[in-house]
Amino acid sequence: MAYKSINPYTNELIKEYPNTTDEELEKTLSSAEALYQDWKNISITERAQQLHNVAAGIRSNASELAKACTIDMGKLYRESVGEVELCAVIADWFADHGEELLKPEKVDTIATGEAEILHQATGVIVMVEPWNFPYYQIMRVFAPNFMVGNPVILKDASNIPTSAQLFCDIIAKSGAPKGALTNLFLSYDQVTKAIEDPRVQGAALTGSERGGISVAGAAGKNLKKNTMELGGMDAFIVLGDANMNDVNDIAWRARLYNAGQVCTSSKRFIVMDSVYDEFVAALKKNFAAVKPGDPLNSDTTLAPMNTKNAKEKLQKQLDEAIDNGAQVVYGNEPIDLPGQFFKPTILANITKDNPAYHTEFFGPIASVYKVHSEQEAINLANDNPYGLGGIVFAGDADHGAEVAAKVETGMVFVNNFMASLPELPFGGVKLSGYGREMSHLGAMAFTNDKLVVKAQKPDMTNLAGGLIATDPEK
Ligand code: NAP
């Protein structure tokens, strides 16, 4: 597999990187393992300070990072700037809260002695990440594991090698010790080899089911813990009493942000019949108003897709949807620019037997569905193999939250755009994966939650079958 940075706006090959050799992989595993052992003797307070330094290093290199990421995968420059700042926010948050999140927990027990759970490091973690958020995806795994004391080896997507390397170099220069985060240009076989290695204790993947099945398969075969952040077909439910100004202002952004290449993009708009026509008209108007162009320019509002392959795959899916009866309400026309642009498109009339009903469009295509009752909206949202996020717009936020509770996904936002912040758990159910990143749950993804029960001396008074010693006072 070739690691190549190709600018999707100009189609220019920027740089190609050689694959990592097996010797380099071995060296990385051994320095990561050495750091894991060293970190056992280093206080978490020291790591917190280093992580704050990492946040500061990211901030002081923000423009270079943002530009590299826009050139690698086409994201609008202002969105790249936002992503870089979010990474610094995540690093600062785990630095500020890591010690509290990971402190030992007392357990109330009838066992003799005092029981507590220690949240300890387990060892080296392999992370496999996608191209759509070149920095944020790394930070979601790196920051909590840095506080825990688990070194991380990164295999990033093969189309963003420049930004992956730059981010890891800046983190190292900002004071993260050698081995804390190492970017390698690994083949799929080397990813499996790394996961099989006894020094590696876990694997985290964000990406497609194809990648997930392979990495989770290797982890399962070797009995290693793993987390899977996979695809989504998030529903955006609009109830009849929703504030339509807010809905119309947010719906197009929720689909077109990052050129529609977000796992939690709203991909299915499920709209009550009373407001359906108004909704579709506004979505059409907003899709028609975007301006494709150089993603580094501040007046561009539609970015190119990340690669030629991604664009071709999306067009194939769209053609298949239309062949199976979907109606094009807007779009499906070429954009006359050399970059990998895809015209925002709206599809209606998607029946259950259409592949588009249950496959993810990872680009700027919105599917709209008209429903006649709230229950029909919930049933349609749940009639899907994925379960990542979702949005509900309702006149009354409490009622919106009741609907949100019935949607089978890992995250739902009511009357607002979805936001990803370090204190909020991120992850899904069904084919969207398992485990959570960020928050207290993400901090514990790869910990050894070790029980220690401390008695001053043995107490045999209540010995039941020789198996449990209980405290007669309790
Ligand atoms: P992908 O093909 O699975 O790629 C993701 C990463 O997995 C890349 O680094 C890729 O490397 C690697 N990979 C793929 N197959 C592999 C294998 N057999 N062994 C080892 N590594 C492998 O995913 P994508 O299509 O680029 O990304 C888009 C998908 O990710 C969408 O479905 C999207 O919804 C999902 N996603 C989910 C989340 C979330 O948090 N739930 C966030 C963002 C994206 P190469 O580049 O070298 O192939």
The token duo for 210 is: 């194809």
Q: Is the CB of 285 under 6 A from ligand 1?
A: no
pLDDT at 472: 52
* 129 pLDDT higher than 90: yes
Tell me the per-residue pLDDT of 11-21, one tens digit each, with 9 for 90 and over. Answer: 999 999 999 99
Q: Measured from the CB, is residue 191 less than 6 Å from ligand 1?
A: yes
| Mean pLDDT (whole number) for 334-349 | 97
- Among 141, 193, 206, the mutation site with the greatest number of ligand 1 atoms within 8 A of its Cβ is 206
Q: What is the CATH number for 71?
A: 3.40.605.10
* DSSP H stretches of helix in 291-396: 308-323, 374-382
Q: Which of 133, 140, 208 to mutate to test the pocket of ligand 1 (most atoms within 8 A of CB)?
A: 208
Q: Give me the CATH number covering residue 341.
A: 3.40.309.10
- Indicate which residue's Cα is closest to atom 10 of ligand 1: 157
Of residues 355, 352, 395, 400, the one with CA closest to residue 378: 400
Going 112 to 117 to 123 to 126, the CA torsion angle's sign is positive
Q: Same domain, yes or no, for 241 and 202?
A: no
Question: Does position 461 have pLDDT exceeding 70, yes or no?
Answer: no
- Establish if 89 belongs to a structural domain: yes
- pTM assigned to the model: 0.96
Residues 166 and 73 in one domain: yes
> Ligand 1 in contact with 264 (CB < 6 A)?
no
- Cβ–ligand 1 contact at 363 (below 6 Å): no
Answer yes or no: is the C-beta of 158 below 6 A from any ligand 1 atom: yes
By annotation, the residues acting in catalysis are 229, 263
| Average of per-residue pLDDT values in the chain | 96
Asked whether the predicted pLDDT for residue 333 surpasses 90, the reply is yes
What would the pLDDT profile of 304-332 be if each residue is shown by its tens digit?
Answer: 999 999 999 999 999 999 999 999 999 99
* Residues 166 and 263 placed together within one structural domain of the fold: no
How many Å lie between the centroid of ligand 1 and the Cα of residue 158? 10
pLDDT tens digit sequence for 229-277: 999 999 999 999 999 999 999 999 999 999 999 999 999 999 999 999 9
Do 314 and 210 lie in one domain? The reply is: no
Identify the pLDDT of residue 224: 98
d(CA 186, CA 126) in angstroms, rounded, equals 11
Closest ligand 1 atom to 211 CA: 15
- Number of structural domains found in the chain: 2
Give, using CA atoms, the residue closest to atom 30 of ligand 1. 207
Q: Is any ligand 1 atom within 6 A of the Cβ of residue 231?
A: yes
If asked whether residues 189 and 240 sit together in one domain, one would say no
pLDDT for 459 equals 80
Say how many Å lie between the CA of residue 459 and the centre of ligand 1.
54
Residues 6+ apart with CB under 8 A from 310: 261, 340, 362, 363
Residues 161 and 251 in one domain: no
Q: What CA–CA distance (Å, rounded) separates 116 from 312? A: 55
Alpha carbons 443 and 449: distance in angstroms, whole number:
11
Can you say whether the dihedral through the CA atoms of 397, 398, 404, 406 is positive or negative? negative
Helices (H) and strands (E) in the chain, counts: 14, 20
Q: Is the pLDDT of residue 146 over 80?
A: yes
The answer to whether residues 204 and 249 belong to one domain is: no
Ligand 1 within 6 A of 17 CB?
no
How far does the centroid of ligand 1 lie from the alpha carbon of residue 231, in Å?
9
pLDDT recorded at residue 460: 74
Say whether both 193 and 251 belong to one domain: no
The closest residue, in CA terms, to atom 7 on ligand 1 is: 211
Provide the residue range defining the domain that includes 335: 234-414
Report which ligand 1 atom has the smallest distance to the Cα of 208. 3
Same domain for 299 and 192, yes or no, is: no
Residue 135 resides in a domain: yes
Inside any domain, residue 471: no
Same-domain status, 238 and 223? no
Within-domain flag for 422: no
pLDDT at site 391: 98
Is the model's pLDDT at 1 over the cut of 90?
A: no
**Is residue 467's pLDDT more than 70?**
no
392-435 pLDDT, tens digit each: 999 999 999 999 999 999 999 999 999 999 999 999 999 999 99
**333 and 394 assigned to the same domain:** yes
* Ligand 1 lined by 134 (C-beta under 6 Å): no
Whether residue 435 lies inside any domain: the answer is no
Q: What's the CA gap between 427 and 231, in Å, rounded? A: 10
Question: Do residues 9 and 155 both lie within one domain?
Answer: yes
Handedness of CA 186, 190, 194, 195 (dihedral sign): positive
Task: Categorize the per-residue pLDDT at 298 as very low, low, confident or very high, splitting at 50, 70 and 90.
Answer: very high
**Cβ(360) – ligand 1 distance below 6 Å:** yes
- Identify whether 106 is part of a domain: yes
Within a domain: 146: yes
Q: Has residue 462 got a pLDDT over 90?
A: no
The answer as to whether 463 is a domain residue is no
Please say if the pLDDT value at position 112 is more than 90: no
